Structure formats: C-alpha cells, structure tokens
Amino acid sequence: MNIYGIVILAALLTEYFLLTAADILSVRSMKSQLPDEFRDVCSYAAYKTSQSYTKVRTYFSVIENTFLLIVIIVFWLLGGFPKLDEAVSRWTDYPLVKGLVFIGILMFFRGLLGLPFRIYSTFVIEERFGFNKTTPRIFLTDLFKTLGLSVIIGAPLIVGILAFFEHAGSYAWLYCWILGTLAVTVLQYVAPAWIMPLFNKFTPLEEGELRNSLSRYARSVKFQFRDIYVMDGSKRSVKTNAYFTGFGRNKRIALFDTLLAKYNPDELVTILAHEIGHYKRRHIEQGIIFSVIHMGVMFFVMSLFIREEGLFNAFFMQNITVYGGLVFFGLLYSPLDLFVSILLNLISRAHEYSADEFAVRTIGVPDRFIDVLKKLHVENLSNLQPHPLQAFLKYSHPPVLARIKRIRELKELHGS
C-alpha cells in the first residue's frame, strides 16, 4: 500500500471514529431529568420513550456504519476493484460502457448492503415506537421507483462525466461543472412537479376554517396560496413534518396530512410561516449556489488526480481508466466530503434560525411558536438535548432548546 492508500484508509477510519464517537457521546450524555422547558408538554414517561428511541436509532446507525466500513476495507484489500474491472473488461471493450457498468455495479451493491438496514429500521424500529405505516408493498414500490430514477438520472450523468474526462482534454472539469450545474438546477426545478408526485399525493387544501387562516397569513406576507399543498405523509409514517422546496414556478410548501390531524389552525399558521420564511429568505437558491461552487472545486481537484498512477496502485489496479479514477477519487475525497457536509449542516441550521425569525416577526406570537416547536419535538420523539458534537456534525436543524432560546432573545429584543 502506498501513500494514497494510507491517506484514504486513515481518512475512512478518522471519519468513522469521529462520527461514532459523536453517536456514543450522544447516548452516554443523555440526562435523566426532563428539561424544565418541556415540563408542561411532556410527561416523564414520554421523555423516557424519546430517550430509548434515540438510543436504539443511534446504536443501530453505529452497527450499520461499522458493517459498511468493514465491507469496504475487506473488498479493497482482497483486490475487489481489479477483480471487478477484469470481469467487466471480459464483457465489453468500449470504455464508456465499461465505466458505466463498473460504477453501476459498485453503486448497486452499495445500495444492496444498506437494504437490510432500511428494512429493519422501517419494520422493526419505527414499528416498535408506533411510527411506521409503510407496508411491504409501499416499501418495494418506493425501492423500485428510486432505483429507476437513479438509472434514468444517474446513468446519463455518469456517461457525460466519463466522456468529458475521456475526450475533452484539460477543460474536462469545466464541462463537467457545467453539466453538474445544469443537472442540479433542472432537478431542483422539476422535482416538485415531476419527481415528488411519484412518491406522494399532493392535494390543494380544502375550503374551510384552516384554509382561510392560512391564506389570510399567506396574503399578509405576499405568498401565493396556490403553492401550499397537503402531502399524504401518513402513507409511510405517523411522524409530522412540513417543508419548502423548489423555486420559480415550481416552488411548493408541503404540509403533511399527519400535521393537519394534530394541530389547530393557529398552530398551523406558525408552521406555514416558518416554511414561507425559507422561501422569502431564498434558502433554496442559496443551497443551489453552494452546491454549484462545491461541484466546481470538486471537479477541478478531481481533474488533478483522475489519472494519478499512485491512486490506482493503492487499489491494486493495473490499468489506468477514467472510471477507476472517478471511483478512487471519490474515496480520496471522502474526508473533504465530511467537511462539506458539516458546512452544509451549519448553513442549514442558520437557515432554520432565519426562518424561525421570519415566522416570529410576521406572526408576532413568539410563545405560540415555541409551543408548536415543543409539541413537534415531543411527538416525533426527537432527542431534546443532543450532545454538542453530535449536533455540530450531523444536525441539519438546531437542537430545539437552542431554537427556543433564540426566539426568547428575539422576543426581548422587540419587547413583544
């Protein structure tokens, strides 16, 4: 094993130990006392249940990550990559097809390895805590739809990237960047209209008191009501949620039907206000800009390493190929990827604070917003006090107590 091999192995292990340490700390540091803030909305028994849910989910993810790490390292050290390359080469000579098959098989097996974990998570863990509504039939159709979409969307992109690096010389990274930028933008744009409806039904909210309350608020902040939909989240889980997605004509706020069943119109207005906050503050566009910049950097660095002999030697590969370079660079890049995902979470948490602020400012009832936040977290059995390392590395939303604290500060600032 050469220096590339050592760097990649060290990076894989560091990432694994860092994330696992955060997981274990998170469980170890759980406090037996219910936070004062939650005394009015959560019983001690419910608090205990949320802790055991956190514990089970966390240990489960440790087991899954350990298993995946072992499989990758064993596959690598037993010469899995050159063996697969040989097998694919016997089958075809054309580099683009070879590359597509090589990468396709690796991705397929990566998905296959995760499958038992997803089955256990859905039908055992979520079931045990009373969340699961997914039937085996829904699970299977979801699986095939996802597989189909990855082939339809992923295959042309992989072929495009391979073709550019194969034929376009030193500007290949630039063409890949343009291709990637187009793909990200177009996908974000069409997903709410074409892709999400493949998985869920989105229906306009029916006439009534709720619709009136929501549309009154939407009008007050100049948001088009026709972009608010009810999504049949209850098809898969009783968990409650809402989100904002897309941009331009295809922007959309989805309120889960599970949410509508449990919250009154006033409470739902606060949830809607938070989602409209994401729209008004242009969080989706900012996310796209960030990923476009990130892709540019990644493709450029990739162009420096994609034909690096040492990288191939580290994986015992005889032939230097573009598709091999793509896969091995992916592994070399994984520590940077961890860094990027931490940065993305950081941005996402800032967006959450910003949307909270928008909601509180436009509705003017901070206490109601805090009550809804509390209720949401208690019902979904969220970890009320995650360990700071866990929250820093993995949380896309700030811990609930931090959000409440921020809202109280706002309230004092504006004296409302």
Active site residues: 275, 356
Q: Do 254 and 242 meet the contact criterion of CB atoms below 8 Å apart?
A: yes
- Least distance in Å: CB of 245 to Zn ion? 11
C-beta closer to Zn ion: residue 99 or 277: 277
Q: For residue 306, what is the DSSP state?
A: T
One DSSP character per residue, 42-90 reads --HHHHHHHHHHHHHHHHHHHHHHHHHHHHHHHHHHTTHHHHHHHHHHH
3-state secondary structure (DSSP) of residue 343:
helix
Residues 295-354 that bind Zn ion (CB under 5 A): 352
Size, binding site for Zn ion by CB under 5 A: 2
CA contacts within 13 A on the Cβ side of 70:
7
- Least distance in Å: CB of 363 to Zn ion? 15
3-state secondary structure (DSSP) of residue 253:
strand
> Which residues fall within 8 angstroms of residue 206, CB to CB, at 6 or more apart?
none
* Residue 251 one-letter amino acid: K
- Least distance in Å: CB of 121 to Zn ion? 24
Query: Tokens 């989805």, residue?
Result: 254
Give the helix/strand (H/E) hosting 138: helix 136-149
Residues 202-261 that bind Zn ion (CB under 5 A): none
- Least distance in Å: CB of 360 to Zn ion? 13
Query: Tokens 């499958």, residue?
Result: 115
Query: Tokens 């520590």, residue?
Result: 335
Q: For residue 234, what is the DSSP state?
A: G
C-beta closer to Zn ion: residue 84 or 355: 355
Residues 345-374 that bind Zn ion (CB under 5 A): 352, 355
Task: Show the binding pattern over residues 99-138: x = contacts Zn ion (CB under 5 A), - = does not.
Answer: ----------------------------------------
C-beta closer to Zn ion: residue 359 or 393: 359
3-state secondary structure (DSSP) of residue 203:
strand
- Least distance in Å: CB of 335 to Zn ion? 29
C-beta closer to Zn ion: residue 25 or 347: 347
C-beta closer to Zn ion: residue 98 or 351: 351
C-beta closer to Zn ion: residue 23 or 352: 352
3-state secondary structure (DSSP) of residue 215:
helix
- Least distance in Å: CB of 188 to Zn ion? 17
Task: Show the binding pattern over residues 148-187: x = contacts Zn ion (CB under 5 A), - = does not.
Answer: ----------------------------------------
> Which residues fall within 8 angstroms of residue 332, CB to CB, at 6 or more apart?
4, 7, 8, 11, 305, 311
Return residues touching Zn ion (CB under 5 A). 352, 355
